[in-house]
């Protein structure tokens, strides 16, 4: 730093991509100032107190996987790995609306999990016919051998080209696509979908193992500011950026909402594309690189919490089939009149986003009762529905083609965010990786 308001690098946004960028800047010997317009850390991954129950609930349930190397590096650096509950191997119960159930156990032989464990787990599934299992395993083998060519197809077009039946697409691949890409099979990019399968579900070792936070997401990320300060960095909360200062195609700094000017020849923007467009000078918005940001679309997520007067079965999570509800997570509750609290997730919920929150809660409670006979007479004593209409970027084939690289045409301005060109879907790992890439470009 050469003066009070001059910094090695200015990072805009304290979401996961901004935190990751700041961490890697410090590792590269650069001292950052991290500017966040809200009072929160973690961006969309945050939690808050439910006033009725007193429980800390997340803005939306997040689950990580063993292949989340960049994200887990961030958690490790903050000293918060103890707050992550890890599966030894991928274990997902499936529950159906008629009360039937099955389970995917990606457990290999003699400790060798990875692709072998996933293959054995698929063979054990009872709700898949033998002919479909053969087709499934042949597809997995082609993936492993690098024989699949997704091109510019959607995931559904690609799966059909790989002789995956409608049954497999509905029962196996649609839940995977919804959970990892927040889009429907006929929407999302097959190219990114294949990357997900190779890295996660058919990756080596414990790549497919799930990590579930044992605390609220805000608590998980809150230690970052102390970590940043201890390494010479600065966190500036509740003060957004009104404009990025650019002269002759070179980044010079930013003007804050309160009128303060921060100077730096290096700026990492880790905010969403629509927010970035608002703070770029008008003449710069005409660059093709920036004008295409307006073409990026979004997909919704509906998260809901149901407090029941009856204890839920002893499972941690479950995939729900043939229902609006896609995933159920069992949570703990402080509410004295409640015997169980469930967090439910509906990804790519375009079809029901317009329904009232009360109707959504009622429909999903009925689905829980249908899937779990033990809950048939359970009554909902409290509910909370959270709608995020623009929860994540929808990475369809067109969006994948125009996702911007982290290096912008403005000298010194670098982009980060799960929506940038990481090759990954818009996940916590995509966000963390983008921050790492952005820092490396300094």
* Three-state SS letters, 188-250: CEHHHHHHHHHHHHCCCCCCCCEEEECCCHHHHHCCHHHHHHHCCCEEECCCCEEEEEEECCE
Q: Write 120-129 long-range contacts (CB < 8 A, 24+).
A: 121/90, 122/172, 125/94, 126/102, 127/94, 127/96, 127/100, 127/102, 127/171, 128/167, 128/168, 128/171, 128/172, 129/167
- Interior angle at CA 440, CA 434 and CA 442, nearest 5: 115
Q: How many CB atoms lie within 10 A of CB 401?
A: 12
Mean per-residue pLDDT, 348-370: 97
Q: What is the CATH number of the domain that holds 243?
A: 3.50.50.60
pLDDT tens digits along 386-414:
999 999 999 999 999 999 999 999 999 99
331 plus 196 within the same structural domain: no
Pairwise CA distance, residues 197 & 371, whole Å = 28
Mean pLDDT value of segment 20-30: 97
Question: What is the reported pLDDT for 112?
Answer: 59
End-to-end CA, the chain: 16
Strand 210-213's sheet: what is its strand order?
A: 64-65, 210-213, 84-86
Domain boundary among 146, 178, 208: 208
The reported pLDDT for the residue numbered 370 is 97
**Percent of the chain clearing pLDDT 70 (strictly above):** 98
Residue 179 is part of which domain span?
Answer: 103-208
Shared domain for 124 and 198, answered yes or no, is yes
- 304 lies in the same domain as 388: yes
How far is 407 from 414, CA to CA, in rounded Å? 5
Beta-sheet pairing, 9-12 with 234-236: unpaired
Token pair listed for 386:
């959270």
282 and 192 together in one domain:
no
Condensed to tens digits (0 to 9), the pLDDT of residues 376-390 reads 999 999 999 999 999
pLDDT band at 2 (very low <50, low <70, confident <90, very high): very low
Cα 325 to Cα 302: distance, rounded to the nearest angstrom: 9
Distance CA 97, CA 37 (A): 44
Task: Kindly state the tokens that stand for 384.
Answer: 């909370």
How many CA atoms are closer than 13 Å to the CA of 97, on its beta-carbon side?
Answer: 11
- Other CB atoms closer than 10 Å to residue 215's CB: what's the count? 15
Tell me: do 388 and 303 sit in the same domain.
Answer: yes
Mean pLDDT to the nearest integer, 296-301: 95
Q: For position 1, what pLDDT does the model report?
A: 36
Residue 78 domain flag? no
Separation of alpha carbons 100 and 386, rounded Å: 29
- Same-domain pairing of 352 and 239: no
> What is the arithmetic mean of pLDDT over 190-213?
92
d(CA 181, CA 196): 9
| Structure-token pair, residue 8 | 């090695």
- pLDDT value at 109 more than 80: no
Instruction: Identify which has the larger pLDDT, 415 or 205.
Output: 415
Does residue 41 fall inside a structural domain? yes
In a domain, 408, yes or no: yes
Residue 185 lies in a domain: yes
Could you tell me if residue 98 is inside a domain? Answer: no
What percentage of the chain exceeds 90 in pLDDT? 90
pTM higher than the cut 0.85:
yes
CATH code for the domain of 197: 1.10.3110
Q: Is residue 357's pLDDT more than 80? A: yes
Q: Which of the residue ranges 150-164, 282-296, 348-362 would you say has the lowest mean pLDDT?
A: 282-296
Is 350 a residue whose pLDDT tops 80?
yes
**pLDDT tens readout for residues 246-281:** 999 999 999 999 999 999 999 999 999 999 999 999
Kindly state whether residue 4 falls inside one of the protein's structural domains.
Answer: no
In this structure, is residue 54 part of a structural domain?
no
* Beta-bridge mates of residue 92: 104
Same domain for 134 and 192, yes or no, is yes
On whether residue 51 sits in a domain, the answer given is no
Check whether residue 224 and residue 352 sit in a common domain: no
The reply to whether 224 and 133 lie within a common domain is no
Q: What is the mean pLDDT of the chain?
A: 94
Q: Which two tokens stand for residue 71?
A: 């994200």
Q: Give the residue from 208, 227, 257 where a domain finishes.
A: 208
Spatial distance between the Cα atoms of 287 and 236, rounded to a whole number of angstroms: 30
- What local confidence, expressed as pLDDT, does residue 189 receive? 98
- 129 with 187, same domain? yes
> For residue 3, is pLDDT > 50?
no
What total of structural domains would you count in the chain? 3
- 194-199 CB contacts, 8 Å cutoff, 24+ apart: 194/143, 194/148, 194/150, 194/158, 195/423, 195/424, 196/424, 196/425, 197/143, 198/143, 198/144, 199/67, 199/424
DSSP state of 162: T
Last residue of a domain, one of 174, 208, 242: 208
Do residues 203 and 313 share a domain?
Answer: no
> pLDDT tens digits, residue range 218-252?
999 999 999 999 999 999 999 999 999 999 999 99
- Tell whether 379 and 423 lie within a shared domain: no
């Amino acid at each position: 730093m050469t003066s009070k308001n001059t910094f090695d690098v200015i990072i805009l946004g304290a979401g996961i991509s901004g935190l990751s960028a700041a961490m890697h800047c410090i590792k590269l010997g650069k001292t950052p100032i991290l500017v966040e317009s809200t009072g929160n850390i973690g961006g969309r991954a945050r939690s808050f107190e439910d006033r009725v129950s007193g429980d800390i609930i997340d803005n939306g349930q997040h689950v990580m996987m063993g292949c989340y190397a960049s994200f887990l590096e961030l958690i490790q650096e903050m000293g918060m790995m103890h707050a992550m509950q890890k599966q030894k191997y991928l274990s997902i119960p499936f529950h159906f609306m008629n009360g039937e159930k099955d389970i995917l156990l990606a457990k290999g032989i003699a400790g060798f999990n990875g692709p072998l464990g996933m293959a054995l787990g698929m063979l054990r599934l009872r709700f898949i016919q033998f002919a479909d299992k053969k087709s499934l395993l042949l597809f997995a083998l082609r993936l492993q051998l690098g024989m699949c060519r997704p091109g510019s197809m959607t995931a559904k077009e690609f799966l059909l080209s790989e002789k995956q039946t409608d049954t497999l697409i509905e029962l196996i691949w649609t839940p995977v696509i919804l959970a990892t890409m927040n889009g429907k099979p006929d929407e999302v990019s097959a190219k990114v979908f294949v990357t997900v399968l190779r890295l996660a579900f058919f990756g080596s070792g414990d790549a497919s193992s799930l990590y579930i936070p044992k605390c609220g997401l805000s608590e998980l990320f809150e230690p970052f500011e102390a970590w940043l300060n201890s390494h010479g960095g600065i966190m500036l909360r509740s003060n957004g950026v009104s404009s990025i200062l650019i002269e002759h195609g070179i980044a010079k700094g930013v003007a804050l909402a309160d009128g303060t000017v921060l100077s730096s020849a290096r700026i990492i923007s880790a905010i969403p594309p629509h927010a970035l467009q608002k703070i770029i000078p008008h003449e710069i918005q005409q660059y093709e690189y920036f004008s295409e940001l307006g073409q990026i679309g979004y997909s919704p997520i509906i998260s809901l919490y149901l407090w029941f007067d009856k204890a839920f079965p002893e499972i941690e999570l479950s995939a729900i089939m043939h229902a609006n509800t896609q995933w159920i997570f069992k949570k703990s509750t402080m509410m004295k009149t409640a015997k169980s609290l469930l967090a439910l997730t509906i990804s790519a919920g375009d079809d029901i986003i317009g329904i009232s929150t009360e109707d959504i809660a009622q429909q999903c409670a009925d689905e829980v009762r249908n899937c779990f006979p033990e809950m048939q007479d359970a009554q909902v004593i409290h509910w909370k529905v959270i709608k995020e209409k623009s929860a994540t970027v929808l990475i369809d084939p067109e969006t994948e083609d125009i996702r911007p690289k982290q290096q912008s045409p403005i000298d010194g301005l670098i982009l980060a965010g799960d929506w940038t060109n990481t090759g990954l879907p818009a996940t916590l790992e995509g966000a963390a990786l983008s921050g790492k890439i952005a820092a490396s470009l300094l």
